[in-house]
Amino acid sequence: MRCSALCPAVMLASALVLSCDQPNLSEPNNTLSPSLRTEQNPDGPGAFAIHVPEASLLIVDGDPAPGLTVLVGATFAEHLHFCETGEPPFPMDRLLVFRPDGSVMTRVQGAQVPLLVWQTTIPTIDPGAEICDPAFLALPRLEGTAQFLEKDTDVFVSGNRTDSYSEKIVGQVSSDAGERFRFLGKAHALVLRNGELRFTFNLSLRPIGQ
């Protein structure tokens, strides 16, 4: 399991450590895909891209309204397996593009991946432990599927360009009683070359048919 890079009022891109499995971006294997030419580096080795499996994603919204905890990419059974073994599912695909200037672009996609939503929030000090706490696991939850897309134009914020990070989750979930909800999650962060940071974050859960 890995953590969302954005949380309300706090940027958790590197501070939130959860037993999160993150891809190793520092030592790519450039034999995995052909080099991609770039206008900025026409005579050099060019950029190159690789695809790697991506783990399930935890998102926590500490705002009391709506106050949601969201797990993208794992069924409840798979989440219980993670809590027992520390082994998350890898249902999504991550594209990594390594540019000649040393910067890295990434995109994560998941189509019809499992979606779990709890209508409560958890502390973000140690969310990996909180989401596996027996008391939390016993709470009512909503289950369904979602489309997931995450993009980061400059993962390590090289300063060579404006870094834009975004997450979007669109899905439907239902309760044990048959109530259905539309879920929408959006996050966007912009790091300008002068170091200025701008970000927005929003999770919403709306009943269907009301």
Residues 62-95 pLDDT 10s: 776 778 999 999 999 999 999 999 999 999 999 9
CA-to-CA separations, 133 to 64, 91, 191, in angstroms, rounded: 20, 23, 35
Q: Is residue 148 part of a domain?
A: yes
Q: Is residue 201 part of a domain?
A: yes
Q: Is residue 157 part of a domain?
A: yes
Q: Is residue 26 part of a domain?
A: no
Residues 161-189 pLDDT 10s: 888 999 999 999 999 999 999 999 999 99
**What's the average model confidence in pLDDT over 134-149?**
97
Q: Is residue 25 part of a domain?
A: no
Residues 22-40 pLDDT 10s: 444 444 444 444 444 445 5
Q: pTM above the 0.85 mark?
A: no
Q: Is residue 36 part of a domain?
A: no
What is the pLDDT, as a whole number, of residue 203?
92
Give the domain range for residue 202.
2-20+46-207
Residue 86 dihedral angles phi and psi, to the nearest 5°: 80, 10
Question: What letter does residue 144 receive in the DSSP assignment?
Answer: E
The total of structural domains in the chain comes to: 1
